[in-house]
Structure formats: structure tokens, C-alpha cells
Amino acid sequence: MKKIIYAFAGVLALLSFSSCSMFKYDVLDGPNAQINGRLVDVQTGEKIGIEYYSGTSAPGTLIVVEHGWDSEAEQGWLVRFDGMYTNNLIFAGEYSFLTKRLPCYQPENNTFTAKPGKNRMDISLLPFCRILNPVVRYDAATKKILATFSVEVTDPAKANQVTNVALCGNTQVFVGCNSQNLVKSDGKKTNPQAKLQDVNPGEVITLELDTTLPENAELFRYKQDRYFRIAAMASGNGYNANNYYNFSPIYKFSPDFSSVEEVVWDENEW
């Protein structure tokens, strides 16, 4: 009986020691900062729209590295379609960012400091190209959506070829070219005028989407708001090897096509 008592006392002593020392190793406080801001064209001051895919390891994410840790792993911060980003669970400290999943060149100055509490930081970047003077409208006579614009390459010494332009559409405000796009277009047989290849920088272009074609039924079958945006891809000289698109703003058409307006995103939501 004494052996059992002694053994039980030894277990209690071990547990007491463990609770006092072995399990008191996690003293790190939780995240103490929040950050939000915009991806901004360094030359025009306008937001840089992106194509968003789900997941923090997919295209359309801002890659961030937090310094000061033994393992400085890359983090993926989500960016909204209009170029807004936010993260409410970060630590105050020194960071750097990478644009390898965004349609922008990597800038030389890519570091920033997050202070405890709320932080607002716009990130100035140079997009691969810009869509200039976009006009998206409905032609009642032909029953087509028409998008007129030109494309400017931002650095002719780098990505200087406009390899693709496309008119993208969706029944929701989230519109991309590869993702969230109901316009089926291969540039040849299916909606051939909705996507063009190898256009000249600066050339005025008009893309067309026929609302009466059977392959467009998913987009035009029901009376509802519809959303469109223009996409352009610039590449060349080894730049934009991942074939990322730059975008125009998103435009909303009323169900009967009688009105069209640019979508204005609420920055206070983030």
C-alpha cells in the first residue's frame, strides 16, 4: 500500500513540476497591429486593379515577409479587385513585399514599418500597362456591348508588347479575365471580337460582344445587372512571364442596358 502511495505522490510531483516549468514557454503576445491600403500607380496615382483568385498562394496576392524571426516565411495578403488590401492580424515590426503575383514591376524600395494599432499604407507600383480612355457602352442597333480604348506600356524597355486584350463580363461585380468571367472567348471562333492578340500600343481598339449569341446565354439570359471590364496583357524581354493582366475599372449595366456606370468601391469597408 505504501508503494502505491509513494508512486502516486511522485506522479503528482512530476505534474506539479511540469505545470510550473515545462508548459510555461509560450509568452508571446498575439497580433497587435492592423494594416490596410491601396496598390497605387506610381505615375498616375490611380488604384491598380487586379484579378483575384481564391487563396493566399494564388495570383492576385501581395507577398509580404515579416523580418526579425528565425524563419522569415512569405505570407500572401489578399488584394481586392480594385487594388485595396487589408490584414487585421499582424505584428508591429519591419516588413518587405514582393510583386511576383501582381501585374506590376518590383520596385527597389519595398520595405515598410507597421506600428502597433492601425496602419494605413498605400504601395506605389508601376503596372505592366495601362488601359487609356476606356468607354464601354451598349449599341441597341446591333445588340452588342462595345468597349473602346487604347493600351499604354509603362516601360518600353521592358514589357513592350501588348499580347492580349479582352472584354470580360459577369453577373456579379467581381470580374476577371481568367477567373470570374462569363465571356467565353478564344479570340477565334467563340466571340472572336471580344478578344484580340498582338495589338499595337497606343492603337485605338474596339472589342465587341454580341448579346444574342447562344454561347453568351449565361450572361444575358436573365434581366439583371451585368458587369464588364477591359483586360490587357503586356509582356516581352523576359517580363510578365506569368501572363498577368492589367484592368480597367468595372462598369455596371442596368438590366435593360439603358444605363452604365463605373463601379465605385467603398474603401471604408476595408
Q: What is the 3-state secondary structure (H, E, C) of 137-162?
A: EEECCCCEEEEEEEEEECCCCCCCEE
The pLDDT-based confidence of 17 (bands split at 50, 70, 90) is very low
For the ranges 20-24, 53-57, 119-123, the lowest mean pLDDT is seen at 20-24
- pTM equals 0.86
- Cell 526579425 locates to 68
Mean per-residue pLDDT, 102-127: 96
Closest CA to 132 of 150, 146, 148, 147: 150
Encode pLDDT of 214-231 as tens digits.
999 999 999 999 999 999
SS3 128: coil
CA dihedral in degrees (21, 24, 25, 31; nearest 10)?
-170
Between CA 70 and CA 241 the distance in angstroms is 32
Between CA 226 and CA 261 the distance in angstroms is 11
What pLDDT, on a 0 to 100 scale, did the predictor assign at position 269? 60
